[in-house]
Amino acid sequence: MGSKRRFWLIKSEPGSYSIADLERDGRTSWDGVRNYQARNFMRDEMAVGDLLLFYHSSTEPTGVAGIGRVFGPAYPDYTAWDANDKHYDPRASKENPVWVMVDVEFVEKFPAVVRLAEMKAAGELDGMLVLKRGQRLSIQPVDEAHFKAVRKMGKRG
DNA sequence: GCCAACGTTGGC
DNA sequence: GCCAACGTTGGC
């Protein structure tokens, strides 16, 4: 895994959890991820200190709303074996957690959302996963150059 | 609200 | 192990 800091994009519908919520809370558990590829990224590749583009999906406008940081290593997502939880998975148990989560902390909220359309128009973001049609993965690795470019766009407001 | 794209499930 | 059917995601 190494010590090299990685960069990620995490998606959230702001109606359920927004960058403003993270700013208010300071820190939150990124629970409810029920996709194997996304889980593997959290479990195997995310490291404390990794920076995250916080992406608002299914809203207007869609785009990157701010920055977060991985606060702690992956641990079992106990909401998976809570029958009352929205993300309950009957295959999961304390003995066999199946799913994991990480803790995420607030870093910054952009003055204005860096819109998806704006990102598509920026040539420097060519190849970024989130720009690909049909790309539904809720946790995506991001190139350092792409991360920096988006952050710069965000600071401009 | 529509629907394309995708991941997952389950019959065979 | 294939693959059709299904449910979900998420932009538009």
The Cα A129–Cα A16 span in angstroms is 23
The bases of strand C with some atom under 7 A from any protein CB are: 8-12
- Chain B: positions less than 7 Å from a protein CB are 4-8
Could you give all domains of chain A from N- to C-terminal order, each with its CATH number?
Answer: 7-149 (3.10.590.10)
Residue-wise pLDDT for A10-65, tens only, equals: 999 999 999 999 999 999 999 999 999 999 999 999 999 999 999 999 999 999 99
- pLDDT at A157 (0 to 100): 66
pLDDT at A83: 86
pLDDT in tens, A113-133: 999 999 999 999 999 999 999
Is A116's CB less than 7 Å from nucleic acid strand C?
yes
| Strand, coil or helix: A22 | helix
What is the structure's pLDDT at A3?
54
Span CA (A132) to C1' (B3), Å: 17
How would residue A112 be classed by pLDDT, with cut points 50, 70 and 90?
very high
